[in-house]
């Protein structure tokens, strides 16, 4: 067995444990429900969302492994965008509320459905939302629009934006990940890989990072053909 | 959906079954379900317990962990529940899993759960998903019910109404629409649906469908190229491998067929039917070691499955007989007969016994059993009875029962003169007997007889001699008792006679039996459905 097989097996095992921890935490939170939330409930909520971040990382790690081994069950299918967005908001909203942020969604009217792998793209966007929630000042916005046969999904915030080295490096290849910085680049690498699996005719999915825009902070943009 | 029942009401009114082997998780998930709006939640700790509960009560929602420890997994439980009718078309089956793997999603669309939910499951997400699924499933229940009753036209009508109404389940509806066009033998319309879907994006099932359209048109090369393309572009879509393997087999490319099946089996080693297919292909190519490996894996996998899987028993038995152990073969066949009581199982068991008796030197016993088997096989009325009969004939040829094999092949050819694919299959078997020429003559004679009977019948009707008209068609029916077209021609003319010349209980029974046999041979055949409806109306009017 090579090392990556060990890593994948360990990631699988860790993910099972994380699922159980998350279930317990959520159960505990439900039992502590009160208005206003107690300090214990707030800490539990914080623990729950950190757990989900770990879960998200493990999901991405395992998916990368499977994609590279040709074992990922890639399933592009028609996705109802309103439902897709609803689920993302449901998952990100509690964390945003905990940090006192406004989470908004801005979808181009008339945009009904698009073809992509729901789980794969869902985990790209949710990690990006979690990330934005972490760095935002007051607002995080998810927007969807289509033009020239491409669907654009953008996660923007009003935080300090992505550091210069990340913008320069862009969506680094795995070899380029700088382990000295706190960012492993896992999320960005995964995003690029996931986007790249989506093809239609000659067109391919892509990702890009930027700063500024209407909210003035970081912008993560995923484009799907 | 009926009236204005909201999805919330549906959740409240549904019986839930939660299947999860890990106790702590079970209680957490049950709490989540109750807080999501469920009122009645039963729990089961493994596949066996769940099977008992599903058999005893109809659940509206089943939430089931894919991994259930030893014994059945969630997918096998789902297949059993559908097979045995424990769940109805509106039941939502939600599979919970820690991660999505190709092994898990390898099920054919018909066998797949309604959705997968990846752990960890949060309450709000669970609620959103459940509300969406019960609503969607309720809206599709009418179509599913019509399909279960094999009323393809009604199902198609409902499907098209929902598409026009802008349903949220568009992708599923389009897939069903194309499938229903195929069932109704309208391949051009099926093709149009597939092409429309593919214009929007690279959807694997539409590519497979397009290949099936080409296959139906007899264009094997295009079908093969399309399937090879699908396998390349969607390496995890295992149904395409199965179809491609079938095409390669028809083209006589046994080695390539094995290659493709081995690739599929490596991707998803836990599908019993695919391991069986690999075993069969390997056996045909004389690769006995590979065949034995695949068959034993399939036997192991079938232990927890309610789905009938005869191939590994038959294949393994044949390997034993050929290795000089007919006793072992007999034992396996006995186990198969014990486990499955279907007609197919009985027929194949008998065929393998003929082989074993012959190998043991009991020529008289083998000949007697072969005769018995041919009579039984010719009497079958399932939608695959003719294919099964050719297969039985092939086994009989191998067991040196050439005369009996020829008799069975004659029966198949006569009764299926209008089915090009079956004629080709039985012609190949005739070739092995050195009787290649007789196939074409049989087909021509049967076609002549059926056409003449119909023409003659119509003329006699016009002459005002209904009894003579019926006699002509009855003659064809006696000569081709397993041909749906002949049976329905008889039924149609007999019904005209009944209408014009008054009711007759005897004739009505004969008509009803003819239609029933035609429907058994071709489930959902639209013309048979029409005649049956008309007959039912008369009976109801007294």
C-beta separation of A125 from A88 below 8 A: yes
This prediction's pTM: 0.86
Residue B233 CA to residue B243 CA, distance in Å, equals 15
Domain A76-225 has what CATH class? alpha beta
| Greater model confidence, A72 or B159 | B159
C-beta separation of B376 from B385 below 8 A: no
Exposure pattern of B264-290 as b/e (b: 16+ CB <10 Å)?
bbebbebbbbbbbbbbbbbbeeebeeb
Given a cut of 50, whether residue A181 has pLDDT beyond it is no
Q: Is the Cβ pair A70, B235 closer than 8 Å?
A: yes
What is the predicted pLDDT for the residue at A180? 41
Residue B320 burial (10 A CB sphere; 0-12, 13-18, 19+): buried
Which residues of chain A have a CB within 8 Å of the CB of B29?
A: 23
Which residues of chain A have a CB within 8 Å of the CB of B267?
A: 71
Q: Is the Cβ pair A77, B171 closer than 8 Å?
A: yes
Q: Let me know how long chain B is.
A: 542
Instruction: State the ipTM, two decimals.
Output: 0.83
Q: Let me know how long chain A is.
A: 225
Residue B344 CA to residue B337 CA, distance in Å, equals 10
Residue B141 CA to residue B390 CA, distance in Å, equals 38
Q: In this structure, which topology does domain B150-268 adopt according to CATH?
A: 1.25.40
- CA-derived radius of gyration, chain A: 18
What's the pLDDT band for A28 if we cut at 50, 70, 90? confident
**B47 to chain A nearest CA, in Å?**
20
User: What is the greatest pairwise CA distance in chain A?
Assistant: 54
**B153 to chain A nearest CA, in Å?**
25
DSSP B167: -
Residues of chain B with CATH 3.40.50.2300: 7-147
What is the predicted pLDDT for the residue at B127? 92
CA-nearest residue to B124 within chain A is: A90
Which residues of chain B have a CB within 8 Å of the CB of A56?
A: none
- Encode pLDDT of B364-421 as tens digits: 999 999 999 999 999 999 999 999 999 999 999 999 999 999 999 999 999 999 998 8
Question: How many other CB atoms are there within 10 angstroms of residue B24's CB atom?
Answer: 12
- Encode pLDDT of B250-291 as tens digits: 999 999 999 999 999 988 888 889 999 999 999 999 999 999
Residue B455 CA to residue B477 CA, distance in Å, equals 14
Angle (CA) B436 B442 B448, round 5°: 150
What is the predicted pLDDT for the residue at A182? 45
Q: Is the Cβ pair B22, A20 closer than 8 Å?
A: yes
Q: Is the Cβ pair B28, A27 closer than 8 Å?
A: yes
What's the pLDDT band for A53 if we cut at 50, 70, 90? confident
Angle (CA) B275 B217 B425, round 5°: 55
Given a cut of 50, whether residue A174 has pLDDT beyond it is no
- Encode pLDDT of B514-529 as tens digits: 999 999 999 999 999 9
What's the pLDDT band for B481 if we cut at 50, 70, 90? very high
* Residues 6+ positions from B284 with CB-CB distance below 8 Å: B254
Average pLDDT estimate for A194-212: 92
What's the pLDDT band for B106 if we cut at 50, 70, 90? low
DSSP A174: G
Q: Is the Cβ pair A19, B200 closer than 8 Å?
A: no
Q: Is the Cβ pair A23, B25 closer than 8 Å?
A: yes
From the candidate CATH numbers 3.40.50.2300, 3.90.870.10, 3.40.50.300, 3.40.50.2000, the one assigned to the domain spanning B7-147? 3.40.50.2300
What is the predicted pLDDT for the residue at A165? 79
List residues bridging with B269 in a β-sheet: none
Mean per-residue pLDDT of chain B: 91
- Encode pLDDT of B61-104 as tens digits: 999 999 888 888 899 899 899 888 899 888 999 999 887 777 77
Helix (H) or strand (E) holding B101: none
Nearest C-alpha neighbor of B387 from the set B430, B355, B344, B353: B344
Verify cis geometry, omega within 30 degrees of 0, for the bond prior to B285: no
Question: How many other CB atoms are there within 10 angstroms of residue A98's CB atom?
Answer: 15
- Encode pLDDT of B298-341 as tens digits: 999 898 888 899 999 999 999 998 899 988 999 999 999 999 99
CATH of domain B449-541: 1.25.40.10
B98, B202, B235: residue with CB nearest A76:
B202
Average pLDDT estimate for B522-540: 92
Residue A100 CA to residue B496 CA, distance in Å, equals 79
- Encode pLDDT of B186-209 as tens digits: 999 999 999 999 998 889 999 999
Given a cut of 90, whether residue B50 has pLDDT beyond it is yes
Average pLDDT estimate for A8-21: 84
User: CB-side exposure of B355: number of CA atoms within 13 Å?
Assistant: 31
Average pLDDT estimate for B170-175: 91
What is the predicted pLDDT for the residue at A179? 43
Strands A203-204 and A199-200: antiparallel
Q: Is the Cβ pair A20, B104 closer than 8 Å?
A: no
Residue B333 CA to residue B175 CA, distance in Å, equals 39
What's the pLDDT band for A184 if we cut at 50, 70, 90? low
Given a cut of 80, whether residue A2 has pLDDT beyond it is no
What is the predicted pLDDT for the residue at B100? 77
Picking from A12, A19, A33, A194 by the largest number of B CB atoms within 10 A of its own CB, the best residue to mutate is A19
What's the pLDDT band for A172 if we cut at 50, 70, 90? low
Window 168-227 of B: residues touching A by CB (8 A cutoff) are 168, 170-171, 200-204
Q: Kindly state the tokens that stand for B307.
A: 């789905």
What is the predicted pLDDT for the residue at B83? 86
Which residues of chain A have a CB within 8 Å of the CB of B170?
A: 78, 113
Given a cut of 50, whether residue B125 has pLDDT beyond it is yes
Which residues of chain B have a CB within 8 Å of the CB of A119?
A: 100, 116, 118
Q: Is the Cβ pair A77, B132 closer than 8 Å?
A: no
**A16 to chain B nearest CA, in Å?**
6
- Encode pLDDT of B354-376 as tens digits: 999 999 899 999 999 999 999 99
Q: Is the Cβ pair B200, A115 closer than 8 Å?
A: yes
Given a cut of 70, whether residue B183 has pLDDT beyond it is yes
Residues of chain B with CATH 1.25.40.10: 150-268, 449-541
Q: Is the Cβ pair B201, A119 closer than 8 Å?
A: no
B99, B116, B132: residue with CB nearest A15:
B99
Lowest mean pLDDT among A194-198, B192-196, B422-426: B422-426
Q: Is B28 on the interface with A (CB under 8 A)?
A: yes
Angle (CA) A150 A154 A157, round 5°: 165
B99, B116, B125: residue with CB nearest A87:
B125
């Amino acid at each position: 067995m090579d090392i990556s097989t060990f890593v994948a097996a360990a990631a699988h095992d860790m993910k099972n444990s994380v699922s159980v921890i998350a279930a317990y935490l959520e159960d505990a939170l439900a039992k502590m429900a009160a208005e206003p939330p107690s300090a214990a409930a707030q800490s539990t909520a914080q623990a729950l969302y950190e757990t989900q971040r770990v879960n998200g990382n493990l999901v991405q790690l395992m998916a990368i492994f499977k994609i590279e081994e040709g074992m990922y069950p890639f399933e592009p299918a028609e996705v109802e965008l309103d439902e897709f967005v609803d689920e993302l908001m449901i998952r990100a909203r509690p964390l945003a509320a905990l940090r006192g942020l406004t989470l908004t969604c801005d979808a181009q009217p008339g945009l009904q459905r698009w073809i992509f792998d729901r789980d794969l793209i869902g985990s790209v966007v949710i990690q990006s939302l979690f990330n934005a929630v972490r760095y935002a000042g007051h607002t995080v916005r998810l927007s969807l629009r289509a033009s020239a046969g491409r669907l654009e999904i953008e996660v923007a915030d009003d935080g300090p934006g992505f550091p210069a080295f990340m913008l320069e490096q862009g969506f680094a290849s795995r070899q380029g990940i700088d382990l000295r910085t706190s960012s492993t680049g896992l999320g960005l690498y995964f995003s690029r890989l996931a986007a790249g699996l989506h093809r239609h005719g000659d067109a391919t999915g892509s990702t890009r990072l930027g700063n500024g825009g209407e909210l003035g902070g970081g912008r993560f943009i995923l484009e799907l053909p | 959906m009926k009236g204005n029942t909201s999805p919330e009401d549906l959740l409240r009114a549904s019986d839930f079954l939660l299947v999860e082997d890990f106790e702590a998780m079970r209680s957490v998930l049950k709490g989540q379900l109750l807080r999501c709006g469920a009122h009645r939640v039963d729990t089961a700790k493994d596949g066996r317990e769940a099977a008992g509960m599903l058999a005893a009560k109809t659940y509206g929602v089943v939430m089931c962990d894919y991994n259930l420890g030893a014994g059945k997994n969630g997918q096998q439980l789902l297949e059993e529940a559908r097979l045995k009718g424990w769940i109805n078309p509106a039941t939502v089956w939600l599979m919970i899993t820690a991660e999505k793997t190709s092994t898990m999603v390898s099920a054919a669309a018909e066998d797949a759960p309604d959705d997968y939910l990846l752990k960890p499951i949060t309450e709000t997400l669970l609620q959103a998903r459940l509300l969406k699924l019960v609503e969607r499933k309720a809206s599709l229940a009418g179509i599913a019910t019509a399909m279960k009753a094999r009323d393809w036209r009604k199902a198609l009508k409902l499907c098209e109404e929902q598409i026009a109404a802008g349903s949220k389940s568009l992708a599923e509806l389009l897939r069903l629409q194309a499938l229903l066009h195929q069932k109704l033998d309208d391949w051009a319309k099926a093709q149009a649906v597939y092409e429309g879907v593919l214009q929007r994006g690279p959807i694997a099932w539409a590519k497979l469908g397009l290949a099936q359209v080409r296959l139906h048109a007899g264009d094997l090369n295009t079908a093969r190229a399309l399937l090879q393309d699908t396998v390349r572009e969607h390496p995890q879509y295992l149904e395409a491998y199965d179809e491609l393997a079938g095409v390669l087999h028809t083209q006589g490319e046994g080695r390539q067929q094995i290659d493709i099946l081995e690739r599929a089996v490596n991707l998803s080693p836990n599908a019993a039917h695919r391991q069986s297919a690999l075993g069969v292909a390997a056996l045909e190519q004389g690769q006995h070691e590979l065949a034995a490996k695949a068959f034993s894996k399939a036997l192991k996998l079938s232990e927890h499955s309610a789905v009938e899987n005869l191939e590994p028993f038959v294949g393994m038995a044949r390997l034993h007989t050929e290795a000089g152990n007919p006793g072992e073969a007999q034992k396996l066949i006995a186990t198969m007969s014990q486990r499955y009581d279907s007609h197919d199982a009985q027929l194949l068991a008998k065929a393998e016994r003929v082989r074993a008796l012959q190998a043991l030197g009991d020529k008289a016993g083998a000949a007697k059993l072969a005769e018995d088997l041919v009579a039984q096989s010719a009497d079958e009325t399932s939608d695959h009875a003719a294919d099964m009969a050719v297969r039985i004939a092939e086994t009989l040829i191998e067991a040196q029962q050439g005369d009996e094999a020829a008799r069975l092949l004659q029966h198949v050819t006569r009764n299926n003169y209008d089915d090009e694919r079956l004629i080709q299959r039985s012609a190949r078997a005739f070739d092995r007997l050195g009787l290649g020429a007789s196939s074409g003559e049989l087909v021509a004679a049967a076609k002549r007889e059926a056409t003449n009977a119909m023409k003659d019948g119509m003329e006699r009707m016009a002459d005002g001699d209904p009894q003579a008209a019926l006699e002509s068609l009855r003659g064809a029916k006696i000569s081709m008792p397993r041909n749906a077209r002949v049976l329905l021609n008889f039924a149609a003319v007999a019904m005209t006679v009944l209408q014009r010349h008054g009711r007759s209980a005897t004739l009505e029974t004969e008509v009803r039996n003819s239609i029933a046999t035609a429907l058994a041979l071709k489930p959902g055949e639209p013309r048979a459905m029409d005649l049956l409806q008309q007959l039912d109306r008369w009976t109801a009017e007294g």
